[in-house]
A and B are shown apart, each in its own frame.
Chain A
Amino acid sequence: MLTCKQMTELVTDCLEGKLSIWQRLMFQMHLGMCKHCRAYVRQMKATIAAVGHLPDEPIDPKMHEELMRRFENWKSK
């Protein structure tokens, strides 16, 4: 049986698909029985997904213009 502490240590391996079949089974079983670890995994997944959707700064138009100018220079060489 996995402890809650072990669950928190294994969560990334789980999400990366790196647990053995046995570990995966143990992981799912523990989740089924432990609302705290369910909350932890839910929060972890939400965090990762939110990070993935953080907006990028809009491209600085002056910088982009400058870069395209350099491109034209490079092209003509």
Chain B
Amino acid sequence: MEVLPPGLPRGAGAPDLDQVRRILAGDAAAFSELVKAQQGILLRLARGYVRTPASAEEVVQETWLAVLEGLSKFEGRSSLRTWITHILMNKARTRATREGRSIPMSSLVSEEEAGSGLDESRFTPGGSWSSPPTSWGSQDTPEGLLLNAETRTHLESAIDELPPVQRSVLTMRDLGGMSAEEVCNVLELSETNQRVLLHRARTRVRAYLEEHLGKRP
């Protein structure tokens, strides 16, 4: 049984380190497995920053090459997934800048990030609902939402329309299943900031669905 080098910092778990070892040893199946596990989320994150799907694919390919080049230096201070996502975000932002869009690393109080998406006018001055949530019928369950193809399209559009950093946080947390800590590491956010961004993103997505449910996309 292999013994881990002494003093290896925590962050990456044993499965991560095992996968890294196998890839460094030239195991193609291990690399393929890693790519397949991460590809979906990396593409989604890239699309939040660059103009075209082709551009996003290029960013992701570049990311994988950078992962291979840097893998021998991976120290396991963060999870493998965090490390890979961090590389991707840097490349996506660089590409976005080259394409003429400047996206902040993290932004809490910028113009587009402000406002949670829930109209003040939905409430009375006393804070009660004046315009309460409409009924979603059978679509107020996850299954109800997902079984409807139009609703899936609306969900994708809702995410598409989020301000970039809110979009990244929601994608990583709710789509990618990453932990709050991992997201904070990738985006260099405090836990509170991360939570505020997540809150705003989720509020907007729900509001978008509320507005569009039952309508054609």
Q: Does B15 contact A (CB under 8 A)?
A: no
B93, CB-defined interface residue at 8 Å: no
A-side contacts of B44, CB under 8 Å: 56
* Interface of B, helix, strand, loop or mixed by DSSP: helix
The answer to whether B31 and A71 have CB atoms under 8 Å apart is: yes
Cβ of B110 < 8 Å from any Cβ of A?
no
Q: Is the interface of A mostly helix, strand, loop or mixed?
A: helix
Partner pick for A48 among B116, B128, B129, B202, CB 8 A cutoff: B202
Interface residues as binary, A10-42 with B (CB distance below 8 Å gives 1, 0 otherwise): 011100101000000000000000001101101
A contact residues vs B (CB 8 Å cutoff): 3-6, 8-9, 11-13, 16, 18, 36-37, 39-40, 42-54, 56-57, 59-60, 63-64, 66-68, 70-72, 74-75
Name 9 extra pairs, CB < 8 A, besides A43-B210, A47-B155, A71-B28.
Answer: A3-B126, A44-B203, A48-B202, A50-B145, A51-B174, A52-B174, A56-B41, A59-B36, A75-B26
